[in-house]
Amino acid sequence: MSLRTRLLILVIAAMLVPASLVGLRFVQNRTSEINAALANLAASADDIASDLNEKIQGTAQLHYGLARARDVDTRDKAACSAFLSDVREEYPQFTGILTIDPDGSLFCDSLRTNRALDLNDRAYFKQAKVSQGVVAVEPVFGRLTGISVLQIAYPVRSDAGVLKFVLLASFNLNKFAEFHDKRLLAEKEILFVDSKGTVLVAPKGSGWSEPVGASIAGSDLFRFAATPDGEASREVTDRQGRTQVWAVARSPSIRKAGLTIMVGRSKDGLVAEANRRLYEDMAILAVASLLLLAGIWILATVSVGRQIGRLAAMAKRLGLGDLSARIPPPHPSGELGGLMALLNGTAESLEQQRAAIADLSHKLSQSQKMEAMGQLTGGVAHDFNNLLTVILGNSEHLADRLAGNKELQRIASDIATAAERGSDLTRSLLAFARKQPLRPREIDIGEKVVGMEQLLRRSLGEHIECSFAFGTDLWLTSVDPGQLATALLNLVLNARDAMPDGGRLMVEVRNNSLGQSDLDVNGEPRPGDYVMVAVTDSGCGMAADVANRAFEPFFTTKEVGKGTGLGLSMVYGFAQQSGGLVQLQSEPGQGSVVRLFFPRIAATLNEETAPAEQIIAPDGSETVLVVEDDDMVRAYVESELRTLGYHVIATSNGPAALEVLRQPGDIHLLFTDVVMPGGMFGPELARQATALRPDLKVLFTSGYSQNPVKTPDGVDARILTKPFKRQDLAAMLRSALSALSAPPR
């Protein structure tokens, strides 16, 4: 006997008992389907009631908000009606929103009818008058609209508990029922009646005979619905002999509101659906059996063993880690062929994932390297600023004391100049490490680019021809000069890498007015007046897909180790943070042009302020508490303050400073570093210090600040950036201490 025949016999024998059991189960499922349909009717009714409960709660929250609106709590009827009309447009589920005076008269309404209504006879108004902070609910036909609504009233009381007015929202029961009727796909009928049996919302089906407004109080259906803990569903035969199965919502809150929600369905339709499901299940079983037999026949006909051998060989290679393994075509049809295709797809996916993991690992390594460099750079720059503070201050002392020796005074001045240049360098390092916010200034970008010309030419090399073009009467912009220089250098270096065999590069600066048709790299218009900085190269250019991703972090087309993919993303972030935008144009073989746009600002008259050396701050005599963890900086500041006439108390950390403040004696100003060891930074010290001495003024100093210093509430503090000159220190001290004498508000 062949393998094919044996398989067929085994399959048929194995299917006899399960097929009999499945058939019996299908018959049992018919009864379950009918019971489930009945339960579904009750669930639908309860679901509608639950949704209505949520709408009532939402209306109560709306009332709570409206009760505090000035346009409602007013005697200006027109303004109140206009405001409620606007609110009504935002909440179309309400036919109207109105306010009722304590005497029961209508005051204002969203329909602006100006009708005079006496609502003292309404139950919801009576209930609202005596309730405290809860809504009163009653289903009625609206007097202004004639529509069946659920009136939701909320009493608004004064602080003394006196009723000011009653807010009323008329929830449209017709629209609510229509929504759920559509949700139920018209398979079920929805009926709303009030506690007296009056029909508020009638079913849409043609078999229902009682119109809206009619009473069904004496019917079997209403008696079933009115029974609080009765049966879950009931069959009711109408006057036309049609039998309906009805279920009623058992929500206590809805019943308490005087509303009964029922969902019904014809009995014939309910049973027919269960019968149809039984026939479908039996047909599916028969078809599945035939398909299974046919599949076994085809499977037995095809060379199963050979195909399984190919699968086993593929699985073995994958198990050994060879992700390049594939099952070559032709593949058989059916499950084996699908499995072969699945294995090939899985191997390809694993191979791609392995490559992606390797790429991500490299990017992570680059990111960690850049982060480590940033941390190192920020820390070194911070320490440099402390050292430069001492160098700059002492060089000023030397220059003053060597006034009679021109040669030595010049050397001292050179030391101060070198310290100031070192300060500029540390600011650039901190900007690279992202340890300080942008420091924008009103500058002429053209002058800045002219100052960078030699640096840019040296960065490009002699094999690249470099030219500069400047527009006339360039507008002023407000940008961080250091970050602008970094961004321009990034663009020039990228252009250089795109021209390994030489080429031409142009840096262009000119005024530019953008319109709605001028888009940035994100495809958004940013119309306005800008100063444009453009870098154009004759390099290899970029394909469209590369250009679309050029500003993504970590995206780079350079070889491994020759680029982080962060340069252009930093340029993009700087332009965005400066209020500007970026444009990119590039085609393969046609070079690239990157344009940065910075917003124009109005020209400022008398922008050149007097040099700091010319600002003479008067000496002081107040007592200053100095808190600085660096010994040299603390000694320098203490010496400077004594030279300026101040009394000085010096400590190295926050807890020691607090101990001093707890002692008696006058202390007029706290001069503290922002970042200090020991767990207490300057802002926290300032908060505790001003709590001990409310009149104490605060002056912060910092080598860098990763975020702007968060001054504690109620503390009027200034910040002096390291390194600083003597006159900067003197001027800032007087500014802080002068504010001390301001009269309290």
pLDDT number for residue 615: 47
Express each pLDDT in 594-638 by its tens digit. Answer: 999 999 987 654 444 444 444 455 677 899 999 998 888 899 899
Could you tell me the residue ranges of all domains in the chain?
Answer: 40-172, 176-270, 323-431, 437-599, 623-738
- Strand-pairing partners, residue 598, are 531
Separation between Cα atoms, residue 423 and residue 419, nearest integer Å = 6
* Alpha carbons 317 and 328: distance in angstroms, whole number: 14
Pair of tokens at residue 501: 């065999």
Cα radius of gyration rounded to whole Å, the chain: 42
* Three-state secondary structure call for residue 411: helix
At residue 582, what is the residue type?
V
Greater pLDDT, 2 or 50: 50
pLDDT band, very low/low/confident/very high, at 535 (cuts 50, 70, 90):
very high
- Most confidently predicted of 354-368, 399-413, 430-444, 518-532: 518-532
Helix (H) or strand (E) holding 482: helix 481-497
Query: Higher model confidence: residue 557 or residue 367?
Result: 557
Identify which of 88, 91, 80 has the alpha carbon closest to the alpha carbon of residue 58.
91
Q: pLDDT class for 561, splitting at 50, 70, 90?
A: very low
Q: Tokens standing for 250?
A: 């058992």
- Checking if the pLDDT of 7 tops 70, the result is no
Pull the structure tokens for residue 165: 């007015």
Ranking 27-31, 246-250, 275-279, 564-568 by mean pLDDT, the lowest is: 564-568
Query: Which pLDDT value is given to residue 668?
Result: 92
Neighbours of 630 (CB within 10 A): 20
Cβ 694 vs Cβ 713: under 8 Å: no
Contacts 24+ apart (CB under 8 A), 6-9: 7/296, 7/299, 7/300, 8/293, 8/296, 8/297, 8/300
Q: Which residues of 651-678 are buried (b: 16+ CB within 10 A; e: fewer)?
A: bbbbeebbebbeeeeebbbbbbbbebee
User: Between these two residues, 578 and 513, which has the higher pLDDT value?
Assistant: 513
Q: Residue 660 — very low, low, confident or very high, per pLDDT cuts 50/70/90? A: very high
What pTM was computed for the model? 0.38
Residues 224-279 pLDDT 10s:
888 867 777 888 887 777 788 888 988 888 888 889 998 888 877 766 766 777 77
Domain 40-172 is found in CATH 3.40.50.1360: no
Contact 689, 732 (CB under 8 A): no
For 672-713, the pLDDT digits (tens) are: 988 887 778 888 899 999 999 998 999 998 876 444 456 676
509 band by pLDDT with thresholds 50, 70 and 90: very high
The architecture in CATH of the region 623-738 reads: 3-Layer(aba) Sandwich (3.40)
Domains 176-270 and 437-599 share a fold: no
Would you give the distance in Å from CA 597 to the centre of its chain?
27
3-class SS of residue 236: strand
Tokens for 155, please give them. Answer: 């009493």
Q: Which H or E run includes 185?
A: none
Fold of 323-431: Helix Hairpins (1.10.287)
Partners of residue 63 on adjacent β-strands: none
Domain 176-270 classification at class level? alpha beta
Alpha helices (runs of H) in 629-681, residue ranges in sequence order: 631-643, 654-662
CB neighbourhood size of 562 (10 A): 8
* Residue 268 tokens, joined: 């014939």
Level-2 CATH architecture, domain 437-599: 2-Layer Sandwich (3.30)
The strand pair at 503-514 and 464-470 is best described as parallel
pLDDT the model gives residue 614: 46
Report how far residue 411's alpha carbon sits from residue 417's, in angstroms, rounded to the nearest whole number.
10
